[in-house]
Amino acid sequence: MQVVRFVGAVALSVAVLPGAGAQGLVNPATEKKIDALLAQMTIEEKVGQLNQYSSAFDVTGPPPSAGYQKAMYDQIRQGLVGSVLNVTGAEATRKMQQLAVENSRLKIPMIFGLDVIHGYRTQFPVPLGEAASWDPAAIEGSARIAATEAAAAGVHWTFAPMVDIARDARWGRIMEGAGEDVYLGSLVAAARVRGFQGTDLSALDTIAACAKHYAAYGFAEAGRDYNTVDISEHTLRNVVLPPFKAAAEAGVATFMNSFNEIGGIPSTGSAHLQRDILKGEWGFPGFVVSDWASIGEMIPHGFAENLEAAAQKAIVAGSDMDMEARAYVAHLAGLVKAGKVDVKIVDDAVRRVLRVKFALGLFDDPYRYSDAAREKQVLADPGHAAASRDVARKSIVLLKNEGGLLPLEKGVKTIAVIGPLAADKDTPLGNWRAQAVAGSAVSLLEGIQAAVPASTRVVHAEGVKLVTGQRNFMARSVFNTTDRSGIPAAVEAARTADAVVLAVGEDAFQTGEGRSQVDIGFKGLQEELIRAVLEANKRTIVVLMTGRPLTLGWTADNAPAILEAWHGGSQAGHAIADVLFGDYNPSGKLPAAFPRHVGQLPMTYAHKNTGRPGPEPGVTWSSYNDMPNDPLYPFGFGLSYTTFAYSEPKVSAPEIGRDGSLRVSATIANSGKRAGTEVVQLYVRDLVGSVTRPVKELKGFQKVTLAPGESREVTFTLTAKDLAFYTAAGKWEAEPGAFKVFVGGNSRDVKEAGFSLK
């Protein structure tokens, strides 16, 4: 059901999405209460609901100026602040809430937001890593634990999930999303929303979620954070928006807009994105928060001449809450009084904010999430560590395993655990780690020590440092390590060991916001260490801990075994050890390709064919003259300790009608010697369209666990809905014609069949 009201030319929709009803965001009783409140509110109090401050300089943004805290507290007492971010802990949130509820005229509770991205206290793998599990249920479970912990610490709202499709690993924020693919990204987006929000936002183990960054932030030119985006409506609708729509359909309570412009319009000022699509077409009933100061940033963008104009453009375009630009609190009431902004637009924004506060139960008890005893108990729950270990193992991707070097035998006499990340107890926590305790992760060294019998000697050598001095990634010199003094000891440890585990990759803070790089290879002296260790001992397993795909260069060709463990969270060391020793057979698959060279970026398996797809190499074909087009490890790639054989896929009919469905089946056999789990992937290609279509698009996957020698037929069902896209006519529909279907264990190695749609 959707009712769209128009104020001037602006659509203010009051809508009910399927999921929204389930979250209780819109219901007649609440709408009545909101009507009653709105009737009592002054314009200043209304604007206050749309005003969000950070409690202190925390993760991002400029530090507060002197007196900032005091001024903010005064405004809270006057009911001029609707939300605070970066306040956490049962006690602190209670105190902060008291300021509003005990002093302001209408006693409207504030909503407290925090970036709870991959855990609150207990950290799970960074989101990109988690997506490698291809396990929506596990991902949902991890978001629920994060929500449970955050809710017990007084947090009502997370700025997650980030659902930006990212195809350029230079962009440091690739770490925060689910990778390059639209289908996987949409499933993960919905899973995270369900995990954070559950079916009842007022429950004490759920918090409101936020789909961000709306939209196309992941398409920043040259992978440089905050940079310009210039994509077509076609790419916007077919690639960028589906995960956001999936989040909306899962009932996500809020959206965050994005720093970038698209085609000359900053997202924050885009009525097309926020009003027409989100609140209009999709009938989204929740609210949109700006990104940090993004309303004010429309000035340097060259889209608004001053903060007042920025406030006007943002509110009219549908940005409901102002995060830290202080534009609304300064100018919005005046703009309404001057007749430059229709008060109905403000009322609609306030209504949206209040809906979420009601749904969270804050009007029943503004302190319900701020319970110190529950906080203590929930944060100490041992089940959370066990869950984190489980998700971390599911996320690990085996990239190479020559000669069956892995799994290692536990009885091995001497293991050398080498590398800058081997004993690191902090980096596995990753960036955007909310309230994790610094240095609290299980290191790889500890994980290995705990896994082996007393008879195994575990030798440790750091070799080189990952970065210089302080981990200040705003300073480019952080990568200029020159200290080689630890290399001889590492070489000696490797030489005398039966097996070497070499932990290299990226520091926790090397990915995330503002962490773009032109070079995504091993930084510092890491490759020198890798070469020296491999020369000393060929039985070396390279364990990568990263927040992005890397270019592995020499290492890819020369290391016999490579494991991508990401920044794996609080239990990373145990999870990696589980995989190294075969207690867990890896089944993770890459959610984003590992390029051969940074010059290939941006890249995706779901590229277009071009008019000159050609053989490679070929001078007048669309290929590089100095390197193949394809990545080193493609999307969907990941090995197991066993092998899987795929039959040719079969389709149930050569042709289907618009209302029909097609079954695509293939038999998968475990052709190796161990039980293992395979992610069987289904891809489709629409050969001719009113707009050109990608050479492959993921349309389904199934995880199958098979004993050695066992085989199983896996069947996928496709309908016209699965083949739909945003056509040249501006419709979301499937077009008749010929299709290919592909089944395989990654996006490159597939077997194909075909059918047509009538």
Active site residues: 291
Determine the Cα–Cα distance for residues 211 and 198; give it in Å rounded to an integer. Answer: 15
Residues within window 536-595 making contact with ligand BGC, judged by CB under 6 A? none
Shortest separation between residue 290's beta carbon and ligand BGC, angstroms: 10
- Number of Cβ within a 10 Å radius of residue 546: 27
Q: Considering beta carbons, is residue 113 or 694 the nearer one to ligand BGC?
A: 113
Q: Is 615 exposed, middle or buried (0-12, 13-18, 19+ CB in 10 A)?
A: exposed
Q: Choose between 291 and 446: whose C-beta lies nearer to ligand BGC.
A: 291
Minimum distance between the CB of residue 472 and ligand BGC, rounded to whole angstroms? 18
Q: What part of residues 48-107 is at the interface with ligand BGC (CB under 6 A)?
A: 59-60, 85
What is the DSSP-derived secondary structure letter of residue 53? E
Task: Evaluate whether 50 touches 320 at the Cβ level (below 8 Å).
Answer: yes
Binding letters toward ligand BGC, positions 216-255, x by CB under 6 A: ----------------------------------------
Smallest distance, ligand BGC to C-beta of residue 92, A: 17
Residue 528, Cα to own-chain centre: how many angstroms?
32
Backbone φ and ψ of 416, nearest 5°: -95, 125
CB of 433 to ligand BGC, least distance (A): 13
The span from the first CA to the last CA of the chain, in angstroms, equals 31
User: Token pair of 312, please?
Assistant: 């006007």
Query: C-beta of 212: minimal distance to ligand BGC in Å?
Result: 6
CA–CA distance, 684 with 722 (Å, rounded to integer): 9
Q: Which of 632, 712, 636, 717 is nearest to 676 (CA)?
A: 712
Nearest CA to 421 out of 339, 524, 513 is that of 524
- Kindly write down the DSSP assignment for every residue of 584-629, as one continuous string: S------SS-B-SSGGG-S--TT----S----SS-TTSSS-SSS-S
Q: How far is the CB of 560 from ligand BGC (least distance, A)?
A: 39
Is residue 92 exposed (0-12), middle (13-18) or buried (19+ Cβ within 10 Å)? middle
Contacting residue, 45, 115, 564, 686, with ligand BGC by CB under 6 A: 115
Q: CA–CA separation, 503 vs 565, rounded Å? A: 10
CB of 153 to ligand BGC, least distance (A): 16
d(CA 186, CA 465): 38
Site for ligand BGC in 392-431 (CB under 6 A): none
User: Which residues, 9 to 38, sit near ligand BGC by CB under 6 A?
Assistant: none
Q: Candidates 219, 282, 292, 646: give the one binding ligand BGC (CB under 6 A).
A: 292
**Least distance in angstroms from the C-beta of 603 to ligand BGC:** 24
Q: How far apart are CA 565 and CA 28, in angstroms?
A: 48
List the one residue from 53, 124, 134, 159 that touches ligand BGC (CB under 6 A). 159
Q: Considering the rule CB under 6 A, would residue 164 count as an interface residue with ligand BGC?
A: no
**Residue among 375, 506, 513, 686 that touches ligand BGC (CB under 6 A):** 513
Q: CA distances (Å), 490 to each of 95, 447, 543, 561, 667, in order?
A: 52, 19, 16, 18, 46
Site string for ligand BGC, 170-209 (x = CB under 6 A): ----------------------------------------
With CB under 6 A as the contact rule, the residue among 130, 291, 297, 390 that binds ligand BGC is 291
Q: Whose CB is nearest to ligand BGC?
A: 159
Considering the complex, state which of residue 34 and residue 314 has its C-beta at the smaller distance from ligand BGC.
314
Q: What is the DSSP letter of 280?
A: I
Tell the smallest beta-carbon distance from residue 60 to ligand BGC (Å).
Answer: 4
By C-alpha distance, which of 227, 229, 223, 221 is closest to 518? 223
Q: Which of 491, 493, 492, 486 is nearest to 415 (CA)?
A: 493
Q: How far is the CB of 264 from ligand BGC (least distance, A)?
A: 21
Q: How many residues bind ligand BGC (CB under 6 A)?
A: 9
- Angle at alpha carbon of residue 648, lines to 646 and 650, rounded to 5°: 125
Candidates 299, 297, 358; CA nearest to 322 is 297
The two tokens of residue 189 are 């987006």
By C-beta, is 121 or 212 nearer to ligand BGC? 212
Among 212, 355, 357, 699, binds ligand BGC (CB under 6 A): 212
User: Residue 130 and residue 425: Cα distance in Å, rounded?
Assistant: 19
- Residue 321 phi/psi, 5-degree rounding, is -120, 140
Q: Which residues bind ligand BGC (CB under 6 A)?
A: 59-60, 85, 115, 159, 212, 291-292, 513
